[in-house]
Amino acid sequence: MRKNLNVNGEVRVVDVPPDMPLLWVLRDVLGLTGTKYGCGIAQCGACTIHIDGRPVRSCVLPASAAGGAIVTIEAVGNTPTGAAAQKAWLDLDVVQCGYCQSGQVMSAAALLARNPAPTDEDIDLAMSGNICRCATYPRIRDAIKRAARS
């Protein structure tokens, strides 16, 4: 299947099986390895990307169904909420191993874009699909609030 994908503001032509999850298109075909594989079954959120600003688990999204503007962690810093989240993450030393953090930042940036002042419940709802094995959750919560204030 030949397909045009709009990834991080560029049109990329890929030729991949229609059922190939976007995660593997990004990582193994386009070389955008910032988006991570953790579970492959929409359980961990490591593969979270944005499609038209909404957070999507790319490990279960077939390439054939991937339309719209795709933004990955490599470019989310170009969006105001992505940049704010990244900065807050560093200000509060959120990160440990970092492997989950691409997905965390993507989920947080999407949350902040649609809700500039999230409550604890909003954070729970938006972020509970993202596992962090290093359990950086308390700092993720604080960083989202800090980014919201900025």
For the segment 44-63, give every residue that binds ligand FES (CB under 6 A).
Answer: 44-47, 57, 59
Which of 70, 95, 112, 113 is close enough to bind ligand FES by CB under 6 A? 95
Ranges within 96-125 binding other proteins (CB under 8 A) = 96-102, 105, 123-125
Q: Residue 47 binds which one of ligand FES, other proteins, none, with CB within 5 to 8 A depending on kind?
A: ligand FES
Contact assessment for residue 99 and residue 145, using Cβ atoms and an 8 Å cutoff: no
Which of 12, 53 has the CB closer to other proteins?
12
Report in angstroms the alpha-carbon separations of 98 from 26, 41, 61: 19, 20, 23
The DSSP bridge partners found for residue 48 are 57
Q: Considering only residues 97 through 136, tell me which ones interact with ligand FES, judged by CB under 6 A.
A: 97-101, 132-134, 136
Confirm if 44 and 36 have CB atoms less than 8 A apart.
no
Choice from 43, 78, 119, 128 touching ligand FES (CB under 6 A): 43
d(CA 46, CA 40): 9
